[in-house]
Amino acid sequence: MLFQLIVSGISIGSIYALVALAMVIIYKTSEVPNFAQGEMSMLSTFIAFMLLASYGQSFLVSFTGALIFAVALGVFLEFVFLRRAKDPNVLSLILITLGFEMMIYGVASWKWGAEQQSFPFPVSDFDIVNVGPAVVSYLNIATLLVTLLLMLILFLFFRYTKLGIAMKATQQNMLAARINGIRANRILSLTWGMSSAIGAVAGMMLAPIATLDPNLMMDPLLKGFASAVLGGMTTLVGSVLGGYILGIIETLFGGYVSLQFKSIVAFLIIVLVLCFKPSGLFAKHYVRRV
């Protein structure tokens, strides 16, 4: 049973890790937690669903279409709402993301709200392999592989591409980036687009095991946020590890202690981390010298 729980923990942890990753990428550049993240990935997942179910497109076309939509949505939010804010402080930016969240939620409820859909997926949750004592579904494996692949791509992107390095530079010092010929505004838009696409991947990996309705990402968003806080809001690797740790702890708690109270674990962890290691488990405590 222990092994089985860990397997499920890793599987759900992958989703948390992706959400946390999307959140941290934004937080590092714009210094704002994006609370519209969940609804943005929910909407992108619905776009994939619409392309699949209503327009009969292939999986490849639908998923690519949803990712392109997600990037556009992220860029749209940054360009149309956040950039217009005059002398924004963090609180007003958070409120903008919350407002955007409600707008998307409203649109999704109006368009798809009534019935719960099941999301068709090329990999099944019912085809299984036995790994030692545990049962692992193909979907579990696919989720893990997709997450790892995405992280590898991100790592290569930030390490070796000109755009990735410009993004990293903008995160570390926007003033210096601008003065060295980096178009910081464009970088910001792209960051939001990229984060939105990562969130969309999380949504599409989650949809086949959950039911597709406008509440799809509500719980994972909070868990992803908790993971990001756990790992440290400023480190990509940390947030991913945070996602897996949270997934595993939560599943173990559900298995051994109480299934009903499974969800409170995440919040308990947030409180504990904020009390004892506010910068997160894996972040170097970073104090800006004035």
Interface residue with another protein among 42, 48, 177, 233 (CB under 8 A) is 177
User: Binding of another protein at residue 160 (CB under 8 A)?
Assistant: yes
* Closest-CA residue to 101 (of 12, 188, 200, 35): 35
Q: And the tokens for 75?
A: 């860029």
Instruction: Indicate whether 184 belongs to the interface with another protein (CB under 8 A).
Output: yes
Nearest CB to another protein, comparing residues 123 and 169 = 169
State whether the Cα torsion 58-113-206-44 is positive or negative.
positive
Diameter of the chain measured on Cα atoms: 58
Rounded to 10 degrees, the C-alpha dihedral 246/249/150/199 comes to -40
Contact 74, 201 (CB under 8 A): no
Nearer to another protein, 275 or 287 (CB): 287
Give the one residue of 179, 259, 264, 272 binding another protein; rule: CB under 8 A.
179
Residue 113 or 164: which CB sits closer to another protein?
A: 164
Of 96, 74, 75, which Cα lies nearest the Cα of 85? 96
Q: Which stretch binds another protein (CB under 8 A): 76-84, 141-149, 169-177, 273-281?
A: 169-177
Residue length, the chain? 290
Whichever of 156 and 264 has its CB closer to another protein, that residue is 156
CB of 284 to another protein, least distance (A): 9
Q: Which stretch binds another protein (CB under 8 A): 32-40, 70-78, 109-117, 155-163?
A: 155-163
Strands (E), the chain: 128-131, 134-137
Residue 287 makes contact with another protein by CB under 8 A = no
Q: Is 172 a binder of another protein (CB under 8 A)?
A: yes
Cα 103 from Cα 81, distance rounded (Å): 12
Number of residues located near another protein, criterion CB under 8 A = 19
Of 1-9, 52-60, 126-134, 163-171: span binding another protein (CB under 8 A): 163-171
At 165, phi and psi to the nearest 5? -70, -40
182 touches another protein (CB under 8 A) = yes
Residue from the set 42, 52, 108, 166 that interacts with another protein by CB under 8 A: 166
Distance CA 128, CA 119 (A): 19
| Interacting residues toward another protein by CB under 8 A | 160-162, 165-166, 168-169, 172-173, 175-184
